[in-house]
Amino acid sequence: MNTELAETQTGAPFGAPVYELSRVSKTYARNLVVALEGVDLTLRKGSFTSVIGSSGCGKSTLLKIMAGLIPPSQGRVVLQGEPVTGPRRDIGMMFQQATLFPWKTAVENIVLPIEIRDGKAAAKAALEKAHELLDIVGLKGFENVYPNELSGGMAQRASICRMLITEPAVLLLDEPFSALDELSRDMMNMELQRICREQEATAFLVTHSIQEAVILSDEIVVMKPRPGRVAEVVKVDLPRPRTLEMMTTPEFGEIVEYIRGQLDKGEDM
Amino acid sequence: MTDLSNNSSSTTNTDMLEDTVWTQEIAFIDSVPRWIAMSFVAFVFIGTWWVVTAFGFVSPIILPTPAETLKDMIFVGKNLASGGYMLTALWITILEVIYGFALAIAIGFTLGVLVGETAFGEKAVMPYLVAIDTMPKVAFAPLFVAWLGFGIESKVALAAFIATFPIVVGTAAGLHAADENARMLFKTMGASRMQTLIKMKLPTGLPQIFTGLKIGAVGVMAGAITGEFLGGGKGFGELIRVAASQLNTPRVFSLILYLSLVGLALYLLVQFAQRKVVFWHKERVGSYDG
Ligand SMILES: Nc1ncnc2c1ncn2[C@@H]1O[C@H](COP(=O)(O)OP(=O)(O)OP(=O)(O)O)[C@@H](O)[C@H]1O
Ligand SMILES: [Mg+2]
């Protein structure tokens, strides 16, 4: 679909494969739920991929396996040429909740990954960078504020900074903005796009919003439940950088409709 | 109200709609300051006390009048202030409480971390702690006297024994308070078990730990006095026991009141520490679960 658009696409072709998943399956031992079955997936450097699918189809499970938080039951996960066998420094993660720690100020929260990995001195040295990051996401002046004085959106911005401070090569995002209102969510998505381009990061986003997936992604992985598997990978050939105005174009609507058709009908998104 | 809005509409000369300002109903008690409400209860209590005693409903040996009690409180207060024998006794009790509490914190915290953090502790140690906790701990007092003698040690031991359990429970519960997201986040950062404990689980659990400390602070006082009742010694509990045996009820009352000040001070000290340490946690007023 959208062949004309594909030809006029601006951005450079994507680089080498960063993430390679083959035959990844996961059966939870506790309840014998087959959360994933035979997932093959390749993420190329600098690409933005979204996963969409009904609740319980294994999106979070897939993300956790990619992040090295839980092991797959079968299959192979390789990141930058090295098998993933545990949490790694080149992976940045973000969850639905901001999870800032209330006893630390915004900057202290942001340098926490450095503090954990390299100690207090390194964290102190990273403070300057944390300030820059806060500035980028529009939180200048909130550096020394405690999290319970931040709004939900501001907290999520701070947690973006915490993810970026270690300069990860890939960003794994599990519905990071779904707790926000639509307006701030759109803003955050544009911000996310800019950050990914600037840092040449490879992003993998779990979302429940087709619009969000289409506006941000180069590829959309459509998953089906029971057992969780990849039904289709849809290419999005809208030009980059994307703008919110594109959401009103017929091309955009066409892709959204197509994906909606691919998802199980009647199943609540 | 109606007049006001009419006035304003006539001055601005527009056909403004009337304001719909209305007053929210507030329960009467919510509009009363706390100290007045508390004074009221004290007034009723002392008034009843006075009526019951002054009109001879109850023998003065069983219950002295408020005036007698106040007189004796002033006497005891003077003795304490002048560094008399009562102050010496009080100091002994205070020492028992301090040592007992310190011991309870050290043991309780250690056991709490063992039980809350390790699978072994939770599986193998916790059941025993629960079993001992359900026993009436005061019943151990004679044992402590037999083991440690009539000195301060046996009282410290009983006080610590009673105060340890709430601290264990508070610490263990606190270590379980961190949610799944925080744990996952620490995992993604590659945190070691020790780092996760110190930088995340313990700070997250501080509110529960302090709840345990507060309950322990109350228990340590009870333990020290019970120890003195049952094991003699030279503390404040002994003064109470002697006064009671001489049927000097006003003295018993005033001694108890002074003693409760010590307990209150300890409790407030813990609460103060909690406010300083767990500065991010909004505490509900006057409740245990801070
Ligand atoms: N820790 C676990 N233990 C056992 N079963 C689990 C566990 N986590 C998830 N599951 C099961 O695996 C399946 C997939 O769960 P997962 O959380 O990956 O879904 P999801 O696609 O992220 O759903 P949602 O959109 O609601 O977040 C579900 O059936 C769930 O019950
Ligand atoms: Mg999920």
- DSSP string across B96-159: HHHHHHHHHHHHHHHHHHHHHH-HHIIIIIHHHHHHHHHS-GGGGHHHHHHHH-SSHHHHHHHH
- Identify the CATH number of the domain in which residue B193 sits: 1.10.3720.10
What's the gap in Å between the CA of B92 and the closest CA on chain A?
38
Confidence of residue B274 (pLDDT cuts 50, 70, 90): very high
Same domain, B12 and B100: no
User: What's the N-to-C CA distance of chain A in angstroms?
Assistant: 24
pLDDT for the residue numbered B2: 46
What's the gap in Å between the CA of A59 and the closest CA on chain B?
16
Pocket lining: A99 vs ligand 1, CB cutoff 6 Å: no
Each domain of chain A, given as residue ranges in start order, spans: 14-90+211-269
Altogether, the residues listed in chain A come to a count of 269
B182 touches chain A (CB under 8 A): yes
What's the gap in Å between the CA of A105 and the closest CA on chain B?
11
d(CA A20, CA A46): 14
d(CA B143, CA B73): 35
Same domain, B32 and B115: no
Q: Residue A26 CA: which ligand 1 atom is closest? A: 12
pLDDT for the residue numbered B60: 82
- Residue A224 β-bridge partners: A229
At the topology level, CATH places domain A14-90+211-269 in Rossmann fold (3.40.50)
Name the nearest CA neighbour of A223 among A256, A188, A264.
A264
A55 touches chain B (CB under 8 A): no
In this model, does residue B120 exceed pLDDT 90?
Answer: yes
Say if B239 falls within a structural domain: yes
Same domain, B58 and B74: no
Same domain, B49 and B112: no
Q: How many Cα atoms occupy the beta-carbon half-sphere of A97 within 13 Å? A: 11
- Residue A82 β-bridge partners: A79
User: Which residues form the domain of B100?
Assistant: 64-277
- Taking CA atoms, B205 is separated from A115, A116, A238, B113, B217, in Å, by 21, 19, 49, 11, 18
pLDDT for the residue numbered B12: 54
Same domain, B47 and B136: no
pLDDT for the residue numbered B14: 61
pLDDT for the residue numbered B13: 56
Instruction: Give the ligand whose atoms come closest to the C-alpha of residue A65.
Output: 1
| More confident position, B61 or B42 | B42
- Chosen from B179, B183, B188 to mutate, greatest number of chain A CBs within 10 A: B188
Same domain, B231 and B171: yes
pLDDT for the residue numbered B97: 96
What's the gap in Å between the CA of B201 and the closest CA on chain A?
11
- Chosen from B189, B193, B195, B196 to mutate, greatest number of chain A CBs within 10 A: B189
Average pLDDT over residues B80-92: 93
B87 touches chain A (CB under 8 A): no
- Give the count of Cβ contacts less than 8 A between chain A and B: 48
Q: Which residue has the tokens 């080498």?
A: A16
A83: tokens are 């098998």
pLDDT tens, position by position, B203-262:
999 999 999 999 999 999 999 999 999 988 899 999 999 999 999 999 999 999 999 999
| More confident position, A9 or B167 | B167
Say if B285 falls within a structural domain: no
Q: What ipTM was estimated for this complex?
A: 0.85
B-chain CB neighbours of A101 within 8 Å are: 182, 200, 203-204
Same domain, B133 and B10: no
Q: Residues 6 or more apart from A43 whose CB is under 8 A from it?
A: A17, A18, A19, A49, A170, A202, A204
Q: Residue A228 CA: which ligand 1 atom is closest? A: 14
pLDDT for the residue numbered B290: 36
pLDDT for the residue numbered A13: 55
A-chain CB neighbours of B187 within 8 Å are: 69, 87
Say if B284 falls within a structural domain: no
**What is the domain count for chain B?**
2
A91 touches chain B (CB under 8 A): yes
Pocket lining: A58 vs ligand 1, CB cutoff 6 Å: yes
Say if B288 falls within a structural domain: no
**Under a CB-based contact definition with an 8 Å cutoff, are residues B99 and B266 in contact?**
no
User: Which chain B residue shows the shortest CA-CA distance from A172?
Assistant: B188
* Weakly modelled stretches of chain A, pLDDT under 70: 1-14, 264-269
In this model, does residue B3 exceed pLDDT 60?
Answer: no
pLDDT for the residue numbered B194: 95
Confidence of residue B168 (pLDDT cuts 50, 70, 90): very high
Whole-prediction pTM value? 0.83
Say if B150 falls within a structural domain: yes
Say if B179 falls within a structural domain: yes
In this structure, the number of other CB atoms found within 10 A of the CB of residue B160 comes to 27
Instruction: Give the ligand whose atoms come closest to the C-alpha of residue A62.
Output: 1
pLDDT for the residue numbered A3: 42
Same domain, B72 and B176: yes
User: Which chain B residue shows the shortest CA-CA distance from A104?
Assistant: B280
Tell me the residues of chain B between 220 and 279 that have a Cβ less than 8 Å away from chain A: 279
Same domain, B191 and B70: yes
Which DSSP state fits A172? E
What's the gap in Å between the CA of B194 and the closest CA on chain A?
11
- Residue A79 β-bridge partners: A19, A82
For residue A227, whether the previous peptide bond is cis, meaning omega lies within 30 degrees of 0, is yes
Say if B24 falls within a structural domain: yes
Say what percent of chain B tops pLDDT 90. Answer: 76
CA-closest residue to ligand 1 atom 14: A58
- Residue A41 β-bridge partners: A21
Same domain, B25 and B68: no
Q: Is the CB of B281 less than 8 angstroms away from the CB of A87?
A: no
pLDDT for the residue numbered A195: 86
pLDDT for the residue numbered A118: 93
Q: Which residue has the tokens 């519960």?
A: B173
Average pLDDT over residues B72-95: 94
Confidence of residue B100 (pLDDT cuts 50, 70, 90): very high
Q: Which residue of A28, A173, A208, A224 sits with most ligand 1 atoms within 8 Å of its CB, as the best mutation to test the pocket?
A: A28
Write b or e for each residue in B29-64: b if 16 or more Cβ atoms lie within 10 A of its Cβ, otherwise e: eeeeeeeeeeeeeeeeeeeebeeebeeeeeeeeebb
Q: Which residue of A57, A73, A174 sits with most ligand 1 atoms within 8 Å of its CB, as the best mutation to test the pocket?
A: A57
Say if B244 falls within a structural domain: yes
**Under a CB-based contact definition with an 8 Å cutoff, are residues B223 and B235 in contact?**
no
